[in-house]
């Protein structure tokens, strides 16, 4: 018996617009960064449906893993609305679920399009996996302007978000550059440092960078 998962396709064999996760030059597209997250050794998977959030955890470890989980609801202004969570033992090489969490527990009476939740898996005091939980399709969510700011240190850039920033994309246009992470979420006030690999100099990278999110350019 075999067990696992694959996605199609890995790489482009010629320059094109395609569903591959690595382009013809070997650069990662956003899908490849996402694959690194959803193929992580331990990961949280959350789905909102019919007034509840279902939370599960996948583990590739061959022995049980002690962990904690949190599901925290927020308004678009950053107000904390509610929280659920607790201790969980991740079963080896499979998925472990916890009881469904009702909207009332994490969202209170907030409007569907103006609230979201953050699901987190914590192991050894460190968040190893995180997912934004939307109550509606992304296009229907009332996401605020993220207010992104970029601070450069050589070929490393620190991105800071004033408000929730969904699927932050670092776009360097025609400049050949690869980021150490891309397509990530930032919570209000959160920062992340990204290393850029490129033959272009720091000034060219700084000039070329455009930050994009689901709410538009940062």
Residue 1 has pLDDT above 80, yes or no: no
Is residue 6 very low, low, confident or very high in pLDDT (cuts 50, 70, 90)?
confident
Q: What is the distance of C-alpha 124 from the center of its chain? A: 20
Look up the pTM and report it: 0.92
Provide the 8-state DSSP code for 108: T
123-142 b/e with 16+ CB inside 10 Å = b?
Answer: beeeebbbbbbbbeeeeebe
* Cβ atoms < 10 Å from Cβ of 148: 19
Q: What is the pLDDT of residues 83-142, one digit of tens each?
A: 999 999 999 999 999 999 999 999 999 999 999 999 999 999 999 999 999 999 999 999
């Amino acid at each position: 018996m075999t067990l696992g998962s694959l996605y199609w396709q890995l790489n482009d064999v010629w320059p094109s617009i395609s569903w591959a996760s690595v382009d013809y030059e070997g650069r990662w597209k956003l899908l490849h960064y996402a694959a690194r997250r959803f193929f992580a050794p331990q990961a949280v998977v959350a789905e909102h449906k019919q007034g509840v959030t279902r939370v599960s955890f996948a583990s590739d470890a061959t022995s049980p893993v002690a962990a904690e989980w949190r599901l925290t609801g927020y308004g678009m202004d950053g107000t904390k609305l509610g929280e659920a969570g607790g201790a969980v033992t991740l079963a080896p090489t499979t998925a472990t679920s916890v009881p469904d969490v009702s909207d009332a527990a994490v969202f209170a009476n907030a409007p569907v399009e103006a609230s979201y939740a953050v699901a987190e898996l914590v192991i050894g005091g460190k968040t190893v996996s995180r997912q934004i939980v939307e109550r509606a399709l992304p296009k229907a969510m009332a996401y605020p302007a993220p207010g992104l700011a970029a601070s450069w240190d050589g070929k490393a850039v620190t991105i800071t978000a004033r408000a929730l920033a969904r699927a932050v994309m670092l776009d360097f246009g025609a400049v050949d550059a690869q980021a150490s992470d891309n397509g990530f979420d930032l919570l209000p006030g959160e920062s992340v440092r990204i290393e850029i690999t490129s033959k272009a100099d720091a000034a060219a990278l700084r000039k070329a960078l455009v930050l994009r999110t689901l709410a538009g350019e940062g």
